């Protein structure tokens, strides 16, 4: 009788268990005799993990040159995205249109100012990640962002405004060296404050350098003669701005980029100025006359030029003469390379970019 009663009760459990499993979406019931084990559905667990991985992002300086590309990439990637804006920016006839396009993309506008500590703290408390894309004149003001992040206490990653040369590994002369020194000071302040960070070293903006191929006073790439600073042999990196935004946002929730420098250095976009000229010559089917400017003459031009020409020349000296974008190896202890981390990103190559000017 006991044996029969056991079989009856076991069948009853099995039947009820089957019905219970069909009714409940979140659990599976596994029966072993009279012992019941519960297990969370793996698919739901994965969905929950994926949901928590999407960080809320605040962009400071989002209406600036590279900022708008970062905002666009963040919104397209599905991150809840906010942009810190001044009321005067919204009223501006040009930037107001950009701000409206942000809103149309689902971006939240947060009114505030770098000089208004309370507004900064309040904005930062609403997000997980802060990305600064402020211009060069506001680089020192990022200490105010650091102070606000410390007070808010909730930020899991800060991207300061960099997007160019790795300022810890460059040989710039004045006045560019002072500009880079400001970024170095911000790096050290972030590290001293114990704020998790990622520094983005994106090389040259394609939109700045390639349409004129760095020819003074030009509005298009050269067709007859090209001026080359130095001997044209150092490797230089050019990246299209949308790609810079995409790679930056890819790094936001990636533990591999935490407290590291993210170098955006795709192989097809790393080429010497001589290589660039050769590529352009093939596209237009014509050889250009080449005027090489010795380093001594470049340094003299920097000293003799006024602001802001001297800064541009000094930066170009760092990039094209000293080769500061590619004169070191990326060590795992301090850096990672974006196109290796994210091979799925279809970036615009220099060759493709130049096609529009042929």
The catalytic residues are 183
CB 176 within 8 A of CB 315: yes
CB 123 within 8 A of CB 110: yes
CB 350 within 8 A of CB 206: yes
Angle between helices 67-76 and 241-251 (to 10 degrees): 60
DSSP secondary structure code for residue 21 in this structure: H
Bridge partners of residue 291, in order along the sequence = 227
Taking the alpha carbons at both ends of the chain, their separation in whole angstroms is 93
Angle between helices 309-316 and 295-304 (to 10 degrees): 160
As a whole number of angstroms, the distance between CA 263 and CA 249 comes to 13
As a whole number of angstroms, the distance between CA 55 and CA 342 comes to 18
As a whole number of angstroms, the distance between CA 209 and CA 213 comes to 5
> What are the DSSP E strand ranges found in the chain?
27-32, 35-40, 57-60, 81-85, 108-111, 129-132, 157-159, 198-201, 204-205, 225-229, 235-239, 260-263, 270-272, 289-293, 335-337
DSSP secondary structure code for residue 134 in this structure: -
Bridge partners of residue 272, in order along the sequence = 235
As a whole number of angstroms, the distance between CA 250 and CA 343 comes to 11
Bridge partners of residue 319, in order along the sequence = none
DSSP secondary structure code for residue 77 in this structure: T
In the Cβ-directed half-sphere of 355, how many Cα atoms lie within 13 Å? Answer: 5
CB 197 within 8 A of CB 190: yes
């Amino acid at each position: 009788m006991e044996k029969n009663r056991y079989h009856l009760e076991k069948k009853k459990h099995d039947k009820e268990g089957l019905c219970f499993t069909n009714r409940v979406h979140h659990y599976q019931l596994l029966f072993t005799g009279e012992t019941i084990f519960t297990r969370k559905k793996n698919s739901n667990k994965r969905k929950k993990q994926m949901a928590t991985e999407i960080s809320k992002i605040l962009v400071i300086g989002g209406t600036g040159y590279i900022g708008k590309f970062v905002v666009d990439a963040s919104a397209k990637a599905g991150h809840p995205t906010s942009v810190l804006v001044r009321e005067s920016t919204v009223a501006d006839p040009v930037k107001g249109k950009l701000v409206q396009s942000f809103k149309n993309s689902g971006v939240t506008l947060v009114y505030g100012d770098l000089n208004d500590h309370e507004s900064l703290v309040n904005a930062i408390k609403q997000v997980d990640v802060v990305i600064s894309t402020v211009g060069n004149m506001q680089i020192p003001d990022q200490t105010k962002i650091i102070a606000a992040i410390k007070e808010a206490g909730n930020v899991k990653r800060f991207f300061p405004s960099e997007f160019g040369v790795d300022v810890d590994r460059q040989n710039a002369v004045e006045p560019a060296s002072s500009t880079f020194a400001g970024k170095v000071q911000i790096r050290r302040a972030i590290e001293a404050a114990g704020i998790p960070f990622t520094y983005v070293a994106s090389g040259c903006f394609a939109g700045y350098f390639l349409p004129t191929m760095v020819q003074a006073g030009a509005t298009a790439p050269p067709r007859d003669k090209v001026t080359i600073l130095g001997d044209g042999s150092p490797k230089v990196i050019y990246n299209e701005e949308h790609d810079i935004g995409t790679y930056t946002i890819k790094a936001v929730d990636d533990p591999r980029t935490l407290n590291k420098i993210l170098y955006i250095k795709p192989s097809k976009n790393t080429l010497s100025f001589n290589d660039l000229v050769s590529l352009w010559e093939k596209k237009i089917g014509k050889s250009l006359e080449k005027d090489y400017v010795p380093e001594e003459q470049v340094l003299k031009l920097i000293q003799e030029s006024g602001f802001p020409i001297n800064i541009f020349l000094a930066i170009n000296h760092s990039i094209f003469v000293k080769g500061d974008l590619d004169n070191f190896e990326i060590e795992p202890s301090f850096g990672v390379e974006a196109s290796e981390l994210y091979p799925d990103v279809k970036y615009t190559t220099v060759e493709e970019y130049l096609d529009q000017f042929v």
